[in-house]
Amino acid sequence: MASLKDIADEVGVSVSLVSKVINDKLGTTGARKELIEAIKAKAEELGYKRNFNSIALLAKRQGAISVFLHRIGSKGATITEDTLEGMAESAHKHNLRMMLNFVTEYDDYIQRLQDLHTGMVDGVVLSGVYHIEAVPELLKLQKEGLKLVSTFSNPIHEKIPNVGLIEENTTYLSTKHLIEQGCESIATFDTMPQRTNGYRRALEEAGRPVNERLIFGMPHGQEGFYGSTARGALIGALESGVEIDGICAQSDTQAVYAINELLSRGVSIPGDVKITGIDNSPFCETCSVPLTSIDQKFAQRGRLAVDMLEKLMEGEPVESLKLAPELVVRKSSI
C-alpha cells in the first residue's frame, strides 16, 4: 500500500504538505492549486488509502460511536430497521465504527449505559423508546466528555440535541385528508396525546365539533399501539352504536386490525369507512386494502442524528431539529 512518503517522493514535496492536502488540513499553508491537484492525482494513481484509525488516534478519538436503541413499534413496522439503516449510512460516510446496544427492557438499557465509558466510543445516539428516568445517567456520561444525540419525537433533555418530528402533524394531516375525502364521523385511538391533539386541531380548523365518543380510550405507551387493543376498542364502540365513516389510527398496526374487523362485518373499505395509519410500514402496500399512512422519516432522522453527532465530536455547535411528517395516500382512504 502506498504511503504519504511515496507520494511526497513522486511529486517532490514534503511529507507534511502531502499529509495536509490528503487530510484537508491546509489551513493557511500556501500551496499552488496545480501542486495540490498533482498531489491528489498521484495519491489516486498510487492507490493511497487514508488510515482512519491513525487519524482518529491523532485527534484523540476512538473513531467509533454507540447506538442505544430500545425497540419501538411492532416488528412489521420496520421503525427500528429504517432508523438503523440511516445511522449506518451516515456512520459509513464519516468513517465511524458503529456499536449497537439493542434492548427490549428498561433494566437492560440502564445497565448498558452504566457499563459504557468514554474510552470505548466518542459519542452515543439514543433512539427508540423514550426513558426520562435515564436522564441523570446520560448527563453524567455527557459531563465525562461523551457526546450525545437522540432521535426521539421530542428532546429528552435540553442539553441533549435531538432529531425529532412534528408529532402533532401526523394525525393532523391524516384527519385533514379524511375530511377532504368527505368523512363526517372520524374516529381515532387515543394512544398518544400529541397525536390526539393533532386530530382535534384538524377537526376544529374545519369547523367540525369534536365528538368525544369517537375518541377511543387506549393505554398510553407501547401497549396502546397493539392491534388487538385497538380491535377491542373498535368493537366496543361499534357495539355501543357509534357511527363511523373514517378512522384516523395512530399506528399502522391499529389500522390493519381495524380494517380486518370491519371487513369481517361486511363493511366496505374505503366505500363505507376510510382509514389511515401512521408509520408507512412495508405491509401498507400489501394488506387487504392498501393503507394510507404517515411517513415519520425514520431513516432520514437516523442519518441526521449521526451527522449531528459527528459535528459535536469535531467541536462544532449543533441545534435540535424537527422534521415534518408526510402523508402517503393509498386505496384505504380514497
The fold adopted by the segment(s) 168-295 is Rossmann fold (3.40.50)
Whole-model pTM?
Answer: 0.79
pLDDT in tens, the chain (334 residues): 678 888 889 889 888 888 788 776 666 667 888 888 898 898 888 887 765 444 444 445 668 999 999 988 766 678 899 999 999 999 998 889 999 999 888 888 888 888 886 667 899 999 998 889 999 999 999 998 899 999 999 999 999 999 999 999 999 999 999 999 999 999 999 999 999 999 999 999 999 999 999 999 998 877 778 888 999 999 999 999 999 999 999 999 999 999 999 999 999 999 999 999 999 999 999 999 999 999 999 999 999 999 999 999 989 999 999 999 999 999 999 9
| CATH 3.40.50.2300 is held by the domain 60-165+298-324 | yes
Q: Where are the domains of the chain?
A: 4-50, 60-165+298-324, 168-295
Helices (H), the chain: 4-11, 15-22, 33-45, 52-58, 79-93, 106-115, 135-143, 168-180, 193-205, 227-239, 252-264, 298-313
Look at residues 104, 125, 72 and name the one whose alpha carbon lies nearest to residue 279: 72
Same fold, 4-50 and 168-295: no
Architecture of domain 4-50: Orthogonal Bundle (1.10)
**How far apart are the two ends of the chain, measured CA to CA in Å?**
60
**Is 187 within 8 Å of 246 (Cβ atoms)?**
yes
Residue 213 DSSP class: G
